[in-house]
Structure 1
Amino acid sequence: MSQLSLKFQLIPRTLQFRFEAGTSRGVLKTRNIWWIKAYNEESPNQIGWGEAAPLVKLSIDDRQDFEEVLKNTLEKLEKVEWSLEEDEILDTVKKNVSFDFPSIRFAIEMAVLDFVNGGQKKFFSNLFFEEQKAIPINGLIWMGDREFMMQQIQEKLESGFSCIKMKIGAIDFKQECELLEFIRKQFSPEQMILRVDANGAFSPEEAHSKLAKLADLGIHSIEQPIKAGQWDTMRLLCKSTPLPIALDEELIGVKEKDLLLDTIRPQHIILKPTLLGGFLESRKWIAKAEERGIGWWMTSALESNIGLNAIAQLASQYQPSIHQGLGTGKLYHNNLESPLQIQNGEIHYNSVIPWEEPK
């Protein structure tokens, strides 16, 4: 079987948000990422690209020595002989990159798979890339004051989205419910899916009553109503909830997937490959969720278009019919130009548009 040696180059970039992106963990104005270039000196025009993008205050690999660890990891991987087979590539990454650095795992998986697939920003066979099959996505409403959130809602409605996800927990809960009610008065649950993401903002004592009020508005689901790590409390909440609960932050850094799912028994889980460890770990979560009848969808963790493209291709392998969280490509002033386009609430891969090369 053919073996391959690769060189790696690191290209850091600070992405600039177009607006102050509010979450219950604070406001984001910039985003540090590291693009990974994989190449072979015998094929100088064939390049594979990956992206390491730990999320501040959330990723387990958000740490001061991240770039140093990343550089050392790339040096180590230059001594590795790579298979051309997808399963063996993913296994090699798992063996050589610690579970404690999920965004590095994902970046290396991306870069090597892209290289072996010809260096065309394709990681494996999927309809999103090969047949430009669109994926339905939710329109994301960021936290802010009431006027800013209303402005975003109007823009999403005018853009043809049939699923809107609103981040909540920043302003008064009553005002947030009024914003959701504004949408619901115009569109029934059959016409417009409404999701909310609390990012752990509710206290355990108030969670059930707030979920009941949201359920009255015909909300599809709520992501992470209480802070992660309270498995017993979350289990009781999932058992009695009037509204389907989706675990998000709860999955980060968890090795015992079976134990978490069997203990909490959520209605859904949210998959962010950058935070979970890439393609291989995300597929494991999906398999275990589906075994238990637990729903799932995939979302970006605010990567550049390099990472977003990889997540969309992974989602596409499962031919999703429900809305994914892949609408983050226009967040930044200085994102890469790419074939990724959003039209009528769907993300497309328009192969006519060339990629801007990272630099």
Structure 2
Amino acid sequence: MSVNTSYQKYTLNFKFDAGTSRGVLKTKDTFFIKIWDGNDPEKFGLGECGPLKGLSVDDRPDLEERISKILNLLTEKESLPENKEEAYKLANELAGEDFPSIRFALETAFLDLLNGGERQLFSNDFVFKKEPIPINGLIWMGEMDFMKSQVDKKIEEGYSCIKLKIGAIDFEKEIELLSYIRSKDAECVLRVDANGGFSPEEAMQKLERLAELKLHSIEQPIKQHQWKDMSRLCGASPIPIALDEELIGVYSRADKIELLEELKPQYIILKPTLLGGLESCLEWVSLAEPRGIGWWLTSALESNIGLNAISQFAAELQAPGHQGLGTGKLYHNNIDSPLEVVGDFIRYNSQLKWDLSALQL
């Protein structure tokens, strides 16, 4: 066997100015990696390495250099993984803890290649029976009229779960917008994500105000690494708390257990690109469920290549509730794929084809 690799940097262009509590996004850089056996070059696995700027631990200037070095190391191997366990093991060996997004890309490229190089990483009903996955509708930050128009569109499209990012504009305006959503749909599952936007001193007062709107949950009300304050909030909040950024950089099993037992959140949010790939997320699930902690999966603004991998992984795990997988329509120049959103579901429509012509791998 001759192990071959290549990679390509690719800039995704947003269709609109995507407002978050960390600023406005117009573009997102990502890297696609390709792995194949030189004796069978027509069959190849694809993975995506797309850390989030200012958030991922591997958002660093030498990322591309590291991708190149890691892929060169891979070409020195005498063989490629022959099963899922070997795929996870080799990805961890090559990328380690310092480069979670590279580890995710390697895992998914290996799984893709293992399953024939058709972008079908798992054999489950999502791909083969078009079994859809329920997703939440995400409302991006911006002017009030813009946000209300997004809400109206999501409700018109049939979303039964809406997620609103808060913490960056005036709190009273956010309350107004949440009240607007409730006036439009009293029964919808309503999630908010503060991205650490509250101070520990003000958080409980704001949580009590938000609770009046019967929210499903709030993600990361205060910034990560404030365990004493976060533990207090998780224990007393009238709204279930979901940890997101808090999980970033926590890799060992012992550290994961310590976090879950110290903070006792009601939910955790799993983003494979940020948390070290699929195997790391599997471990989070295995530790959370026995402790009565719920979870769901969320994309981290990947292209359809990464989104496809996470969607298939969600189906493989039979992920409960609404997943955060509705990001496929964000970009002008996304990779065309069989993924499609119908109502508040994402599904894999095998009648549609992958178009990889934009890639130069």
Question: What TM-score does the superposition give when structure 2 sets the normalisation length?
Answer: 0.96
1:182 paired residue number: 180
Q: Which amino acid aligns with 1:65?
A: D
The whole-number CA distance in structure 2 between the counterparts of 1:170 and 1:145 is 12
- Paired with 1:186 and 1:31, the residues of 2 have a C-alpha distance of 33
Corresponding residue number in structure 1 for 2:230:
234
Q: Residue type of the partner of 1:210?
A: K
Matches within 5 A, 1:98-247: 98-188=96-186, 191-247=187-243
User: 2:2, 2:38 within 8 Å by CA — same for their partners in 1?
Assistant: no
User: Given residue 203 of structure 1, which amino acid in structure 2 is its aligned partner?
Assistant: S
1:310 counterpart = 2:309: yes
1:32 to 29, 42, 64: 29
Q: Which amino acid aligns with 1:169?
A: G
Q: Is the deviation greater in 191-200 or in 117-126?
A: 117-126
Residue pair 1:5, 1:82 contacting (<8 A) in 2 also: no
Q: Give the secondary structure class of the aligned counterpart of 1:158.
A: helix
- SS of structure 1 residue aligned to 2:90: helix
Question: Which amino acid counterpart does residue 269 of structure 1 have in structure 2?
Answer: I
Unmatched 5+ residue regions in structure 1?
A: none
SS at match of 1:327: coil
Q: Deviations over 1:197-229 (max 9, x none)?
A: 000000001100111111100110000000011
Letter of the structure 2 residue corresponding to residue 338 of structure 1: S
Q: How does 1:67-106 map to 2 (within 5 A)?
A: 67-80=64-77, 81-106=79-104
Report the equivalent of 2:267: 268
Distance in structure 2 (CA, Å) of the matches to 1:67 and 1:163? 37
Alpha-carbon deviations, 1:48-103, whole Å to 9, x = none?
Answer: 10000010000000001110011001000111222311111111111221211000
| Correspondence for 2:323 | 324
- Which string of whole-angstrom CA distances, capped at 9 and with x for unpartnered residues, describes residues 325-347 of structure 1? 00000000000111110011000
2:16 equivalent to 1:22: no
Q: How many residues align?
A: 354
Single out whichever of 74-83 and 274-283 deviates more from structure 2: 74-83
Distance (whole Å) between structure 2 residues aligned to residue 236 and residue 281 of structure 1:
27
**Structure 2, unaligned runs of 5 or more:** none
TM-score by length of 1: 0.97
Structure 1 Cα separation of the partners of residues 87 and 21 of structure 2:
37
Q: Residue 53 of structure 1 corresponds to which residue in structure 2? A: 50
Number of the residue aligned with 1:335 = 334
Query: For residues 60 and 71 of structure 1, what CA distance do their matches in structure 2 show?
Result: 18
Letter of the 1:50 partner, please give it.
G
One-letter code aligned to 1:192: C
Shift of 1:5: 4.6
Q: State how far apart, in whole Å, the 1-side matches of 2:2 and 2:84 are.
A: 15
Amino acid at match of 1:96: L
> Per the alignment, in what secondary structure is the counterpart of residue 64 of structure 1?
coil
- Give secondary structure in 2 for the equivalent of 1:322: coil
What's the % identity of the aligned pairs?
Answer: 54
Residues 1:63 and 2:51 aligned together: no
Letter of the structure 2 residue corresponding to residue 351 of structure 1? S
Q: Structure 1: which 4+ aligned runs deviate by more than 3 Å?
A: none
CA displacement at 1:130 relative to structure 2? 2.0
CA deviation vs aligned residue, 1:275-318 (integer Å, no higher than 9, x gap): 00111001001111111110000000000000000000111012
2:43 partner SS: strand
Q: Is the 8 A contact 2:112 2:118 kept in 1?
A: yes
